[in-house]
Amino acid sequence: MNTLKRRQFLSQLSLAAVGTALSGKLYASSFLDSKPLIVEEFVQTETTYGKVKGYRSEGVNIFKGIPYAGKTSGNNRFRRPAKLEPWTGVRDALHLGAPAIQAPRRNEPEPSEDCLFLNVWTPASDNKKRPVMFYNHGGGFVIGSGGSAGQDGANLARNFDVVVVETNHRLGLFGFLYLDEIAGPDYAGSGNMGLLDIIDGLKWVHENIAQFGGNPDNVMIWGESGGGAKTSCLYAMPAAAPYFNKASIESGPGVRMMDKETAHENTLQLLKQLNISANNWQKILEVPAADLLSMQAKLPFVPPFLEKNKTQGMMRRNAGGFGPVVDGKALPRHPFDPDAPAISRNKPLLVGWNEDEYTFFAWERKDTESFKMDFDGLYQKLEPQYGPADTKKIIETYRKARPNATAPDIFVAISSITMMGLGSIDIAEKKARQNGAPVYLYNFGYKSENKIPGTDYAMGTPHAMDISFKFNNEVPPKNGEPAKPSFFGGNRPERFTASHNFAELWTTFARTGKPAAQSAPVWPAYNLKNRPTMRIDTKLEVVNNQFKEEVEMWRSIGRI
């Protein structure tokens, strides 16, 4: 590392954007206030492509916007990136790189087809072999970036001596348009370009992270929401296998992905909307990116995982939308169906969800009516989805298990576990049956007192609240300054303890393959006898067979 002349300046952190695609709609939010960042000095590090210049701030070296692969525009649209050419001199890595094509993001560069950049946070660019935490951002498969402030990696690097890496990669139809059936071998794997981009980022880490103080042989992949689904896919992809050795899937259990027949139908539907015949598919290469983004917005989005039809055992097929494709090549199988992938048998896994996932979506959808209903209203709300008999059984089970719960309480619990919980449990069970490396199931339960706008109902533990907690970005203010409220986490100082607990468990897992914290009891690997789950809060507690009655009911009606 070369240290350059000291200099101080203020820079504004970007606002975070998180989201997921569920039920055919996109949900996104911006949160975390901007704050001044003091840069103490510039630092240089060597990569296989040339030197990069980052900056040091409060004990962390930060490099932003490092290219990890070449152009994906022009002739490389829907194909593998062009070769990244080395540069001479020193390349600035002081600002975020362009995010993938999407709506403009506040405090980030203009979105671009050429978006293959990554960011690195490290305590020092030395020869110390720190664990590497390679994060896959959320946003379904259509929005997000590796530069969101909520997932800023500085506190993890500083407080837990790890290296954090986050990538931008292609999204939406630019990353997942399946052309294999009509475009020939040059476009093989086109339905998974976004995932293959991430693998290019992992390969870059393998070749370069030692120069940043990281251990290329100790890499954890992790991600939340759509990033959890991406991580699920990587766990099953042969091309990713050499570059990581443990994983964490958070509030985005990617059990099943789109089959290639559905993906092909989606491609034909898009071409029809563009008035392009399948024989002349090449014309899509000439369509401006902005026009393709506009067309994408008119089509349904793909959820983080596909559900099974409970009567036929078949996967639900959604017309429209773009996401990972089980193409038999890049992604040879569903990530966790019918079982855990053998290719990652020896790689430890964390998986879990937040207790009140739905309150995030209520906030996004401006849903206030769900928090006014009585139990008759709850039946009427659930019956179209589950049918009369199952709806009655569901409500009876939850009222018995939670005798003091209101109808809105039960609706939030049902919606949250069906969105993210059942898939997480399914993954844990399948991984445990594999009798390979351990799997650890968790449930995040710290309760925010913030109210859903327009209601008196507290958000509790909504979807995406875990991001700032696990990145240890819920921390006490310095120098006696008053604490600012957290967008999701609320204003109680207890949140700082819950954040430290979450971050310590995850960084210990990254370091050793076994999650642990000083204030935690021993976290047993998940098994089919005791079914232990770590509940993460200000107090860390192992709960055996959590939500036993509810889960058994869901199993009895074929939902898991």
CA distance 553 to 457: 27
Cα–Cα distances (Å) from 370 to 367, 411, 450, 465, in that order, read 6, 8, 17, 21
Say whether the peptide bond before residue 338 is cis (omega within 30 degrees of 0): yes
With residue 63 as reference, give the H or E element that holds it: strand 60-67
Which of 145, 190, 225, 344 is the catalytic position?
A: 225
CA distance 358 to 457: 12
3-state SS, one letter per residue, for 304-354: CCCCECCCCCCECCCCCCCCCEECCCCCCCECCECCCCHHHCCCCEEEEEE
CA distance 525 to 370: 37
Output the six-digit token pair for 9.
Answer: 């300046």
CA distance 373 to 405: 13
- C-beta of residue 412 within 8 angstroms of C-beta of residue 445: no
Nearest-5° Cα angle at 329, 179 to 345: 145
With residue 229 as reference, give the H or E element that holds it: helix 226-234
Cα–Cα distances (Å) from 373 to 340, 376, 379, 382, 461, in that order, read 40, 8, 10, 12, 21
Q: Are strands 246-250 and 349-354 parallel, antiparallel or unpaired?
A: parallel
DSSP annotation of 413 reads H
Read off the amino acid at residue 301: F
- C-beta of residue 59 within 8 angstroms of C-beta of residue 51: no
Q: Are strands 325-326 and 258-259 parallel, antiparallel or unpaired?
A: parallel
- C-beta of residue 121 within 8 angstroms of C-beta of residue 146: no
Residues, the chain:
560
With residue 390 as reference, give the H or E element that holds it: helix 388-401
Output the six-digit token pair for 261.
Answer: 């027949």
Chain-centroid distance, C-alpha 8: 33
List CB contacts of 52: < 8 A, sequence separation 6 or more. 44, 45, 63, 66, 90, 91, 92, 93
Nearest-5° Cα angle at 108, 105 to 112: 80
CA distance 58 to 8: 12
How does DSSP assign 86-124, residue by residue? P-SSEEE-BSPPPPPSSS--TTSPPP-S---EEEEEES-
- C-beta of residue 510 within 8 angstroms of C-beta of residue 492: no
Identify whether 225 is a catalytic site residue.
Answer: yes
Q: Which residues are catalytic?
A: 225
